[in-house]
Structure 1
Amino acid sequence: MTVKKNTASTPAPDIPYYTPAQTPPAGTTPAEAEGTNTVPTLFSPLKLRGVTLNNRFAVSPMCTYSADDGHLTDWHLVHLGSYASRGAALTIVEATAVTPNGRISPEDSGLWQDSQIAPLKRIADYVHSQGQRIGIQLAHAGRKASTYAPWHYKGAGVRDVVPVEHGGWPDNVWAPSRLAYSSTYPEPKQMTVEEIEGLVKSWADAARRSVEAGMDTIEIHAAHGYLLNQFLSPLSNKRTDKYGGSFENRTRLLVDIVKAVRANIPETMPLLVRISATEWMEWSGEESWTPDQSIRLAKLLPELGVDLLDVSSGGNDARQKIQIHPYYQVDIAAQIREALKAEGKQLLIGALGMITNAEMARSIVQEDGSLAGVQDGTVEVEGESGRKSKADLVLIARQFLKEPEFVLRVAQQLGVEVAWPLQYRRGRWPRGAQL
């Protein structure tokens, strides 16, 4: 309910404490500017099923290895809340394990029991008080579980396995097949069919808890070498039952989880999936997961009730050879997007990776049309009629760690007038100031 208070400020609605409503929310353009060709697509709203995002910026899930037995704490409230208050339309909570042994580290976020709902709800309330949206990435680490937080890294070749005395579970690490990620990772157990079927229910239960915690959207993590990615890949999945071998069998677990999650969330709630679009193992001569298989998978998702595909890459094989350049993942996202459009498939695409500046963020989502008159901080952006956008949403991680105000900074550099949080407006940059 909305807390009533004797004040000239309108309280934020449906929040269990007083804080002023952010009208309009940070990172949004004035109402009179909406729909004009002087505002980049980057700062236009995006509708995801029954949810509308204020702009095209999302905070990508970022593990912080700071949870207490899976429960989020005030660290996460401050960490995640800082992005929402500074204009990020969607903030996605870090990879959250659906079972205890699905955590990457003993300090990972979890949602396998009801006691983990309340601290997550507290964060959701704050994000909503800022007029923004919050999501959660549900995950299982598979053979990459029971490892230390990165600040404990001891160097190449040193085993990274957390023993029982430090809260680990090295003898209960699951995978589709008995293949370790590398010599420094735990030796996994091959999951039984019963464990696989039970995991689908765990995902459904976590989805139900996500709804109760006030999440606006859920993302299913099938990337970066974690369990669902392990099932998708013929390099890590050597099973001979209905969960291995053919494309249909290797994608079966993800499809079953998508169906189970969709069945346990409101019809109006958007559902996202993150994949590693390639393993960067084409050079090996072995069959691996490739962009062509990602396109094949992407074409299945709209009918399953998925609204956005979040396109990342790599992480499933320690031998990977990534061809890095600023658009190395964005270009694959664009390739998938074009393939979907060619067949009339309705699936939004999220792009990520090395998005560190205003011009790159703007160009990725910019729709056809002129932007003459919009400034990028130094030069005028020319009209771009006919240019194709690469994605519908940008998901940004490390740049937000460097600059929590990245949304506001990009707006300033592009010469776009956007709202700041009420409490910070006295500190905003002067119009036209060069950053």
Structure 2
Amino acid sequence: MSATELFSPLALRGIVLKNRIMLSPMAQYAALDGSVTDWHFAHFAKFAAGGVGLIFTEATKVERRGLGTVGDMGLWKDEQMAPLSRIVDFIHAQGAAAGIQLNHAGRKAGTLRPWEGYGTLDRSVPIEGQQHWEVIGPSPIAYMEGWPTPREMSESDIETVIDAFAQAARRADSIGFDVLELHGAHGYLIHQFLSEACNRRSDRWGGSLENRMRFALEIAAAVRRAWPEGKPLFFRISAVDEGGWTLSDSARLCAELKKRGVDVIDCSSGGIGTRSPTAAAIKRPMGFQVSYARQIRKSVDIATAAVGLIIEPSHANAIIERGDADLVAIGRELLFNPFWAHHAAAQLAEDPDFEMMPPQYQWWLQRRSKAGYGPAA
């Protein structure tokens, strides 16, 4: 029996998470032609050993045209599956659940890594020995000044991308992932269709809110058919954005997603015309997006994940305790401290004797504590 809500288990369909701590997807830009490398194994293994209950890999592209940045992960071909299996097996061996987020960059495709300038790639030279990928979107409207103008997607393009999401979901299931999330936020392709700022279509995929939601809902339905009934499906939203999308719009979208078998809404914000809040280097209040998770949870009656500067264990526990969200998604703080979950367990008196840690660490730290150092001293 858990002493704190943060460390209580969470049942979602046929999956039981050991705690409410979720690693938020964070791009590493270290893949080669979409395939993960040793960097990814080392990266995700830390969080599995560190006590996180649900470990999401980074945004994983469903087709090559969906690559946002050099080094993005992909799952558009079978050859990309085997290296991911090794990561998933290790996550499972630590008692954690493995999640994968599926994504398509749309008009944000073809950018430099952020530490290389966060601009568009030089399209006159090959990248990783391959030609550049085409930039597509709901309408021919560039993301920012100086970025390429996307080609407006045809009905055939839309059908191809919807199927690509479903095929990637099937691969993810075969690999052994437990949870799948659709990235419908931060100005990527699904969000582009939702937004009036970049969707100016006059067909059934644009115009009214109902039509602008169609792409997201068709993808969710196709993925739910491809994804096993016993495995949960998440959807990340920008609850509000700079282009006029409102919390009321999000509530309508989430109600329809729930009808199509989505189990959890991961609540972020922004990114349709600027960088997402999670990537912005500006000071914000702690938990600045938690209210979105609380309001969607209440108005739609659906489980939510809260994200956005959740740093202190007491704050994370209070979010779950108050019913603001069902999960806390932590990103940069886990990069800074991969053992945040174990430190939180000690700080909240959930596990002062390190019994939740892997035995390879537990044995040493218990002796350190008995010698007069550490939280159990």
Q: Taking structure 1 as the reference length, what is the TM-score of the superposition?
A: 0.80
Distance 1:401 1:162 in 2: 30
Q: CA deviation at 1:169?
A: 6.2
Amino acid in structure 2 at the alignment position of 1:332: Y
**Structure 2, unaligned stretches of length 5 or more?**
none
Deviating more after overlay: 192-201 vs 316-325: 316-325
Change (3 A) 1:122 1:319: closer
Q: How does 1:277-292 map to 2 (within 5 A)?
A: 277-281=239-243, 288-292=244-248
Deviations 1:220-249 (A, max 9, x none): 000000000000111111111110011111
Instruction: Measure, in 2, the Cα distance between the counterparts of 1:312 and 1:402.
Output: 21
| Matches for 1:64-103 after TM superposition, within 5 Å | 64-103=28-67
Q: Is the contact made by 1:271 and 1:306 (CA closer than 8 Å) also made in structure 2?
A: yes
The structure whose residues are more often helix, as a share, is 2
1:150 is matched with which residue? 114
TM superposition score normalised by structure 2 = 0.92
Cα distance in 1 for residues equivalent to 2:122 and 2:100? 25
Corresponding residue for 2:327?
Answer: 393
Q: Which amino acid aligns with 1:359?
A: S
CA distance in 1, matches of 2:102, 2:361: 33
* Structure 2 residue aligned with 1:240: 202
1:180 corresponds to which of 106, 118, 142? 142
Once the two structures are overlaid, the 10-residue window that deviates more, 314-323 or 93-102, is 314-323
Secondary structure, counterpart of 2:267 in structure 1: strand
Determine the C-alpha separation between the residues in 1 that align with 2:323 and 2:209. 30
- Indicate the residue corresponding to 1:413 in structure 2: 347
Q: For the residues of structure 1 that align with 2:139 and 2:340, how far apart are their CA atoms?
A: 42
Match of 2:314 in 1: 359
Structure 1 pair 390–169 and aligned structure 2 pair: CA distance change class (3 A):
farther
Larger Rg over CA atoms: 1
For residues 179-218 of structure 1, what are the structure 2 equivalents within 5 Å? 179-218=141-180
Q: Which residue of 2 aligns with 1:18?
A: none
Letter of the aligned partner of 2:292 in structure 1? I
**In structure 2, C-alpha distance between the alignment counterparts of 1:75 and 1:166, rounded to whole Å:** 24
Q: Is the 1:175–1:191 Cα contact (8 Å) retained in structure 2?
A: yes
CA 1:222–1:320: 2 relative to 1, 3 Å: closer
Pick from 337, 350, 356 the counterpart of residue 403 of structure 1: 337
Give 1:225-264 correspondences, 5 Å limit: 225-264=187-226
Distance, in Å, in 2 between the alignment partners of 1:280 and 1:146 is: 22
Residues 177, 169 of structure 1: alpha-carbon distance in 2 compared, 3 angstrom cutoff: farther
1:164 and 1:79 map into 2 onto residues whose CA distance is 33
Structure 1 unaligned residues grouped into runs of 5+: 1-32, 282-287, 367-387
Task: Identify which of 120, 128, 131 aligns with 2:95.
Answer: 131
**Match of residue 184 from structure 2:** 222
C-alpha distance in structure 2 between counterparts of 1:292 and 1:401, whole Å? 33
Residues 387-427 of structure 1: per-residue CA shift (max 9 Å, x gap): x3210000111001100000011112212115111111112
Structure 1 residue ranges, 4+ long, deviating more than 6 angstroms after superposition? 319-323
Residues 273, 310 of structure 1: 8 Å contact kept: yes
Measure how far apart 1:151 and its partner are: 1.2
In 1, Cα distance between equivalents of 2:255 and 2:167:
26
Structure 1 counterpart of 2:236: 274
1:349 equivalent to 2:286? Answer no
> 1:224-278 deviations in whole A, cap 9, x for unaligned?
0000000011111111111001111101011111111111121101100001000
Structure 1 window deviating more from structure 2 (330-339 vs 45-54): it is: 330-339
**What CA distance in whole angstroms lies between the structure 1 residues aligned with 2:342 and 2:175?**
28
1:113-163 Cα deviation digits (max 9, x unpaired): 000111111111111111111010000011111001111017xxxx43342
Report what 1:305 is aligned to. 261
User: What residue in structure 1 maps to residue 4 of structure 2?
Assistant: 40
Corresponding residue SS for 1:298:
helix
Q: Deviations over 1:305-356 (max 9, x none)?
A: 111000000011139999942232111111111112xxxx3x2100001011
Structure 2 match to 1:424 = 361
Whether the 8 Å contact between 1:171 and 1:188 is mirrored in structure 2 is no
Q: Secondary structure in 2 aligned to 1:165? A: coil
Distance change (3 Å), C-alpha of 1:162 and 1:390: farther
Give the whole-Å Cα distance in 2 for the aligned partners of 1:140 and 1:171.
12
How far apart are the structure 1 equivalents of 2:5 and 2:126? 48
Once the two structures are superposed, the pairs formed by residues 22-41 of structure 1 within 5 Å of their partners are 33-34=1-2, 39-41=3-5
Asked if 2 retains the 8 angstrom alpha-carbon contact of 1:412 and 1:432, the reply is no
2:227 paired residue number: 265
Q: Provide the C-alpha distance between the structure 2 equivalents of 1:160 and 1:187, rounded to a whole number of angstroms.
A: 11
Indicate if the aligned counterparts of 1:104 and 1:147 stay in contact, CA closer than 8 A: yes
Contact 2:242–2:272 under 8 Å retained in 1: no
SS in 2 for 1:300: helix
Q: Are the aligned partners of 2:105 and 2:188 in contact in 1 as well (CA < 8 Å)? A: yes
* Count, aligned residues: 363
Distance 1:82 1:216 in 2: 19
SS of 2:125's equivalent? helix
Pair 303,320 (structure 1): closer, same or farther in 2 beyond 3 Å: closer
Aligned pair 1:50/2:9, yes or no?
A: no
The 8 Å contact of residues 162 and 170 in structure 1, kept in 2 or not, is answered as no
Q: Which residue of 2 aligns with 1:382?
A: none
**Counterpart AA for 1:210:** A
Q: Distance in 2 between matches of 1:305 and 1:389?
A: 22
Q: Is the 8 A contact 2:46 2:338 kept in 1?
A: yes
CA contact (8 A) 2:108 2:187 kept: yes
